[in-house]
């Protein structure tokens, strides 16, 4: 017999089906609540509300578990490449050699971006934030690809996926190059996806560029760790925008804008800005730890704790080792990073932070690595977007293929009741 939930309202008992996920998560299906009872639920921030069923990512905040299509984040980060993970998230299975070769070859078909895109980039002031430019350029891709995507055509979907992964990477690097006043680089189809990003970001015409394998490996791992995270703010945005049948590029553009916020993808930029402020103030970490503990002090530590992970962020454990490897390998000597290590040690040992599960999260360490890689602070959230792109694509496709209805929440009105109109003479 299927499980039901009972709710008594105004003396009437209503029954609602309970659904159970493949990892035994339980949900009450209230899709008939308003029709049967006239009531709705309310849940600001949707902390208790599921928007969909999904087969893509499973996470358990209490146990610190994260899996993409059933594979642990630990296995994927240590044994797979970012493009293998892109393929897994989007198509549901890890690619075999020939599938991966075809995927990489098809991406290479689309690595040349329409030159008219440069006219759009030129329209931005040099100090425009990279995420604002990237969101605009992503939406502009619709102008160059106006034909709506038929999600029922596997061939059209495959080509659109590869085109999106290719163009987004090139445009992300162009955002940086434009801000630095450097010539825009082109993708080199003889090199790998992640190596190409570094080359497009940092190669200058006057010198030969060779990507450091340590950096390529660290960045590949970072992108895997950011690839998907179930119904986070930006992914939910992509799904809701896509539910109106807006195109893939328009939906991803909206996701970029959502990720920009300092409470979401902008947290990695905020971490470095916090560390730089501590350094500028004299570098007294203990002083700022005391400020963080003082409830009357507005200072808050960025990069600690997580809305979903109650004990630790499994990605942070992996990225912490990558940060140590990169800093040791590059022999980076950076006082801001020294402050970060002191802060990390304090947070991991201090009962105040341990009791509140304020452990260093993925944003704390990713900011450190990006800084060590020489990536400008305002580009950190673009790095997050490059990593999250396959997750956005996978979730958008799942939503469309499942034929989900347009996302349109209800509300509880608390404004004025009916009032008589007053003309301006009597106001």
Report, as residue numbers or ranges, the catalytic residues: 306, 363
Q: Which CB sits closer to ligand MLT, 261 or 407?
A: 261
| Least distance to ligand MLT, CB of residue 385, Å | 11
How would you label 100-135 residue by residue, b for 16+ Cβ within 10 Å and e otherwise?
A: eeebbebbbebbebeeebeebbeebeeebbbbebbb
Q: Which CB sits closer to ligand MLT, 232 or 253?
A: 232
Q: Cβ-count burial of 282 within 10 angstroms (0-12 exposed, 13-18 middle, 19+ buried)?
A: exposed
Q: Which CB sits closer to ligand MLT, 233 or 292?
A: 233
Helix, strand, or coil (residue 159):
helix
| Least distance to ligand MLT, CB of residue 233, Å | 6
Q: Which CB sits closer to ligand MLT, 16 or 365?
A: 365
Among 61, 135, 73, 90, residue whose Cα is nearest residue 310: 61
Helix, strand, or coil (residue 304):
strand
DSSP-derived secondary structure for 1-49:
---EEEEEETTEEEEEEEEE-TT--EEE--TTHHHHHS-----GGGTT-
Cα distance between residue 24 and residue 33, in whole Å: 23
| Least distance to ligand MLT, CB of residue 304, Å | 13
Cα distance between residue 230 and residue 392, in whole Å: 10
| Least distance to ligand MLT, CB of residue 86, Å | 16
Helix, strand, or coil (residue 71):
strand
Binding residues for ligand MLT, rule: CB under 6 A, are: 229, 232, 264, 307-308
Cα distance between residue 356 and residue 253, in whole Å: 35
Instruction: Name, in order, each residue with C-beta under 8 angstroms of 95's C-beta and a sequence gap of 6 or more.
Output: 84, 87, 88, 103
| Least distance to ligand MLT, CB of residue 232, Å | 3
Q: Which CB sits closer to ligand MLT, 73 or 80?
A: 73
Cα distance between residue 341 and residue 83, in whole Å: 31
Q: Which CB sits closer to ligand MLT, 177 or 239?
A: 239
Identify the H or E element spanning 57: strand 57-60
Cα distance between residue 19 and residue 403, in whole Å: 19
| Least distance to ligand MLT, CB of residue 363, Å | 8
């Amino acid at each position: 017999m299927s499980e039901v939930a009972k709710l008594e309202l105004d003396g009437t008992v209503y029954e609602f089906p309970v659904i159970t996920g493949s990892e035994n998560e339980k949900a009450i299906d209230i899709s008939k609540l308003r029709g049967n009872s006239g009531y709705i639920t309310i849940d600001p921030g949707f902390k208790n509300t599921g928007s969909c069923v999904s087969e893509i990512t499973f996470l358990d905040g209490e146990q610190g578990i994260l899996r993409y299509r059933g594979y642990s984040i630990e296995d994927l980060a240590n044994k797979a490449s970012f493009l293998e993970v892109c393929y897994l998230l989007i198509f549901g299975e890890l690619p075999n050699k020939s599938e991966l070769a075809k995927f990489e070859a098809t991406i290479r078909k689309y690595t040349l971006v329409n030159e008219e895109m440069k006219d759009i980039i030129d329209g931005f002031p040099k100090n425009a934030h990279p995420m604002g430019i990237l969101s605009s350029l992503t939406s502009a891709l619709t102008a160059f690809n106006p034909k709506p995507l038929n999600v029922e055509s596997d061939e059209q979907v495959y080509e659109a996926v590869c085109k999106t992964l290719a163009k987004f990477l090139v445009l992300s690097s162009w955002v940086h190059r434009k801000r630095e006043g450097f010539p825009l680089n082109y993708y080199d189809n003889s090199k790998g996806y992640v190596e190409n990003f570094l080359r497009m970001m940092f190669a200058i015409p006057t010198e030969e560029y060779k990507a450091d394998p340590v950096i390529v490996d660290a960045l590949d791992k970072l992108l895997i760790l950011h690839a998907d995270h179930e119904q986070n703010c930006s992914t939910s945005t992509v799904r809701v925008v896509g539910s109106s049948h807006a195109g893939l590029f328009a939906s991803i553009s909206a996701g970029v804008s959502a990720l920009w916020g300092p409470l979401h993808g902008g947290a990695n930029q905020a971490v470095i800005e916090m560390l730089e402020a501590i350094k500028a103030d004299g570098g007294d970490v203990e002083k700022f730890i005391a400020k963080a503990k003082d409830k009357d002090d507005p200072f808050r530590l960025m990069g600690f704790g997580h809305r979903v992970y109650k004990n630790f962020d499994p990605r942070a454990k992996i990225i912490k080792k990558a940060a140590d490897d990169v800093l040791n390998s590059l022999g980076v000597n950076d006082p801001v990073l020294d402050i970060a290590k002191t802060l990390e040690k304090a947070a991991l040992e201090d009962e105040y932070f341990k009791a509140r599960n304020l452990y260093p999260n993925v944003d704390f360490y990713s900011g450190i690595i990006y800084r060590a890689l020489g990536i400008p602070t305002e580009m950190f959230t673009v790095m997050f977007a490059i990593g999250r792109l396959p997750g956005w694509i996978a979730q958008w496709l799942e939503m469309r293929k499942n034929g989900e209805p347009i996302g349109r929440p209800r509300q509880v009105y608390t404004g004025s009741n009916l009032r008589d109109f007053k003309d301006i003479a009597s106001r």
